[in-house]
Structure 1
Amino acid sequence: MVTGENKQRLGWFLTLMIVATISFVAGTRFDQFSASVAPLFGVRMSREKIDLSSVQETYRQLLANYDGKLDTENLIHGASRGLVAAAGDQHTAYMDPDETKEFKKSLSGDIGGGIGAEIGSRNGRPTIVRPLEGSPAQKSGIKAGEVIIKVNDENVSDWDVDRVVSKIRGEVGTSVKLTLLNNGHTREVSVVRQNITSPAVESKIDGEIGILKVSRFGDDTASLARKYASEFVEKGVKKVVLDLRNNPGGTVSAAQGLLGLWLDKQVAMTERRGSEIVKTINTTGSPILGNMKTVVLINGGSASASEIVAGALRDYDKAKLVGQKSYGKGSVQIVIGLPGGSQMKVTEARWYTPKGSNIDKTGIEPDVKVDLSADDINNNRDPQMDKAKSL
């Protein structure tokens, strides 16, 4: 889950640049000045430095002895990626300029050239959650549960999902080769990328049941969900199924807006650094579904903002949870812009449900446990949805 504070933090930087001149006149170093003043603007800065002489020596020895051509820009990105990865937090990650563009597209739904498959992390490995209906992935025979071992012959089995997705995407009309693992057997499949548009929210009315499928928490999630919720009310829906399965999360503001369909400006979550509560996040909007019977579907791919929503709705007794235990991502990331178009996601806090639970690495257990197998998915069966409708 990422916060939406980047634009707000630009203001402090512009102000800081103006007053920086004063610090030089006064004989104060800019880095010392900025580190002291930044907290007044709600921004954390450090003036600590690291000795990178060993990195420079590594570069010199590589340059002197490597039998081949070196791309300096790639080396710099690699060094930055390694530095961030050494923090040891899987949710703190460096993104080069290309990955940064793909990350922004993923929040807006503008996927571009892709294969049309949901990909998630299963047992620490990038795995096909499901191919989308009529997608290039489905037409190529890709099945739910297959582990992605290589992309274009490059081993990606230990990459995070965002990086694998970025590698798979590319120009429309070009091909990407995947090496897949299933039940101990590997196979290769070539897929032609097509333009894929992924809606944040989809809705369906089945009798007196309104189904709201939320695939990501992005810029348009709250507005789309509210639009469909209004249609549910107008058409006399008596019960809502909120499907958050395989939703990896997104922005906090989108979670606030979605929760606002059920909760009236109530606490959605708190953020803590250590034991200190540093921020309280409330829901937004009017609760037009506040008295509507609701069931929430979750599974191992429901993470971050999905867990915020599921956890809050259960804490306030607004919904029953059905499915499988959620992913367990109880941390908050801030996105920080870096020179040259790169950026990094950094875990800045842990989040807690309204009743004070942190689900990091433990996940949320459903009230009613229902499994969904790869065989169910590949044969268009959905026992979890069936159970949600029956409650």
Structure 2
Amino acid sequence: MSSPRSTIRNVLTLLVVLTIGFGLGAFVTRYPGTATRTALPDVLASLAPGASTDVATFKTVWEALKDRYIEANTNDQQMIEGAIKGMVNALGDPYTVFLTRDEAKAFQDEITGTFEGIGAEIGRKNDRLTIIAPLAGSPAEKAGLQPGDIILAIDDVDAETLTLDDAVSKIRGPRDTKVTLMILRGLGDPQSIPVTRETIVVDSVKATNIDHDGKTFVRIQVAGFSNDTERLVRAAAQKALNDEVDGFIIDLRNNPGGYLDQAVRVASIVMKSGTVVSEVTRDGERRNLDVRGNAILADQRIVVLVNGGSASASEIVAGAWQDAKVATVIGTQTYGKGTVQELESLDDGSNLKLTIAKWLTPSGRSITEAGITPDIVVERTFEDVSAGRDPQLDAALDHLMK
């Protein structure tokens, strides 16, 4: 069967924002257009005996299941999707993922910024199910979940027995329903945290003026990099300039990523020239993505706040500004996600997310695993959060006062 798809490529670095866990990373999107694909049964039927031992075995197993499995009415679509998932999972890359039609739709819903769930990005780190970033004001944050929390169980189901997709399915659910997570934080004892799901509406940008010791600063919180983030950040920055504020705090904490193009454009609000990020392909080819747009905040006093929930696109921005020495990075070590994925929309509504490149900061740093090290390290503990204290924000204000 033929299945068209286009060669149009929209670069994004979407870190699957929000209770999803389809993986972290930078993405290049493909949409249905003009290529050819053959249905799996047709592929199997066309295989010549002995052409490939492994593929021939696949064909034998397929036929055995179709011919002799006790339940005669096997679902070809589910078997095909299961085979594809197994093939993709065999790569051992948590960021290369096949999404069924329903999963792809859920993914797109989350990109648009409205969904039902707990409002936390989850993924696998060191082969353990981990909270990457709870959204500001989300049920996950209200319940006390923090970046780096390891999920041991979901409603008494051992997380080690679940794939990432299975875990996501168990955590997601209708508003006003409850899910209980058993989590491990640092060296402490496991603790059970119930979370009531809500409808999550994500505002990617929020600006607030802060008066501090006779001066006024603006804090621009960027929750993710969606289609309109650059426009919103630029508008907030321009308003602050018109108000003649004394400095800028760009808050990228718990920002799990977003469109790469938007990250480059946001970085360009501060950088006058140069490279924002470089991509390196499997062949070693390096492609630089340079600044674009008017740097209206060039020469302004800027602090960037980051933490362990800052990943991918937010690391690109923080790393670019740090390398260019146009902003001071304050907070804790970032997540460390430095690969690029191609997000391909397939004919039947399913998606394939495939790692195709790594990215480097302008100075050539790879942040995979290591993350971005802040210029000034300031912790914010669970006790700080519970008490409404924000020593990282305080440190940013103190730095801007100097």
1:189 equivalent to 2:194? Answer: yes
Are 2:154 and 2:182, in contact at CA under 8 Å, matched by a contact in 1?
no
Aligned with 2:219 (options 202, 211, 221): 211
Letter in 1 for 2:111: L
1:94 equivalent to 2:94? Answer: no
Are 1:108 and 1:220, in contact at CA under 8 Å, matched by a contact in 2?
no
Partner SS state of residue 340, structure 1: coil
- What CA distance in whole angstroms lies between the structure 1 residues aligned with 2:201 and 2:64? 46
What is the aligned partner in structure 1 of residue 374 from structure 2? 366
What is the aligned partner in structure 2 of residue 81 from structure 1? 85
What is the aligned partner in structure 2 of residue 200 from structure 1? 204
- CA drift at 1:283: 2.1
Aligned with 1:168 (options 157, 162, 171): 171
Cα shift readout 1:1-48 (whole Å, capped 9, x = no counterpart): 2345425xx6xx53x68xxxxxxxxxxxxxxxxxxxxxxxxxxxxxx9
Partner SS state of residue 106, structure 2: helix
- What CA distance in whole angstroms lies between the structure 1 residues aligned with 2:73 and 2:369? 42
Are 1:126 and 1:159, in contact at CA under 8 Å, matched by a contact in 2?
no
Are 2:341 and 2:357, in contact at CA under 8 Å, matched by a contact in 1?
yes
Change beyond 3 A, Cα 1:70–1:275: closer
What is the aligned partner in structure 2 of residue 148 from structure 1? 151
Are 2:267 and 2:317, in contact at CA under 8 Å, matched by a contact in 1?
yes
- The 10-residue stretch of structure 1 (370-379 or 118-127) with the greater mean CA deviation from structure 2: 118-127
Aligned with 2:308 (options 300, 307, 321): 300
Are 1:257 and 1:285, in contact at CA under 8 Å, matched by a contact in 2?
yes
Identity among equivalent pairs (%):
32
- What CA distance in whole angstroms lies between the structure 2 residues aligned with 1:246 and 1:170? 22
What is the aligned partner in structure 2 of residue 231 from structure 1? 239
Cα shift readout 1:283-316 (whole Å, capped 9, x = no counterpart): 2221111111111111222111111111110111
- What CA distance in whole angstroms lies between the structure 2 residues aligned with 1:71 and 1:152? 29
What is the aligned partner in structure 2 of residue 269 from structure 1? 277
Partner SS state of residue 340, structure 2: strand
1:52-131 alignment, distance < 5 Å? 52-59=55-62, 64=68, 71-110=75-114, 112-117=115-120, 119=122, 124-127=128-131, 129-130=133-134
Partner SS state of residue 241, structure 2: helix
Are 1:152 and 1:176, in contact at CA under 8 Å, matched by a contact in 2?
no
What is the aligned partner in structure 1 of residue 39 from structure 2? none
Unaligned runs of 5+ in 2: 1-12, 14-25, 37-50
- CA drift at 1:333: 1.1
Unaligned runs of 5+ in 1: 18-47
Aligned with 1:6 (options 30, 40, 63): 30
Cα shift readout 1:212-269 (whole Å, capped 9, x = no counterpart): 1111111121111111111111111121111111212121111011112112353111
Letter in 2 for 1:148: I
Letter in 2 for 1:225: V
Partner SS state of residue 348, structure 2: helix
Are 2:134 and 2:140, in contact at CA under 8 Å, matched by a contact in 1?
no
Are 1:102 and 1:166, in contact at CA under 8 Å, matched by a contact in 2?
no
Aligned length: 353
Cα shift readout 1:38-86 (whole Å, capped 9, x = no counterpart): xxxxxxxxxx999433334445555645689865433332221121121
Are 2:218 and 2:248, in contact at CA under 8 Å, matched by a contact in 1?
yes
Are 1:120 and 1:129, in contact at CA under 8 Å, matched by a contact in 2?
no
TM-score, normalising length: structure 1:
0.79
1:282 equivalent to 2:287? Answer: no
- CA drift at 1:276: 3.5
What is the aligned partner in structure 1 of residue 41 from structure 2? none
Change beyond 3 A, Cα 1:151–1:236: same
Are 2:27 and 2:343, in contact at CA under 8 Å, matched by a contact in 1?
yes
- What CA distance in whole angstroms lies between the structure 1 residues aligned with 2:53 and 2:242? 60
Aligned with 1:179 (options 165, 175, 181): 181
Change beyond 3 A, Cα 1:232–1:349: same
Are 2:120 and 2:131, in contact at CA under 8 Å, matched by a contact in 1?
no
1:253 equivalent to 2:257? Answer: no
Change beyond 3 A, Cα 1:130–1:269: closer
What is the aligned partner in structure 1 of residue 248 from structure 2? 240
More helix by share: 1
- What CA distance in whole angstroms lies between the structure 1 residues aligned with 2:133 and 2:366? 26
TM-score, normalising length: structure 2:
0.77
Are 1:151 and 1:176, in contact at CA under 8 Å, matched by a contact in 2?
no
Change beyond 3 A, Cα 1:121–1:379: farther
What is the aligned partner in structure 2 of residue 39 from structure 1? none
- What CA distance in whole angstroms lies between the structure 2 residues aligned with 1:342 and 1:245? 31
- CA drift at 1:147: 3.7
- What CA distance in whole angstroms lies between the structure 1 residues aligned with 2:161 and 2:305? 28
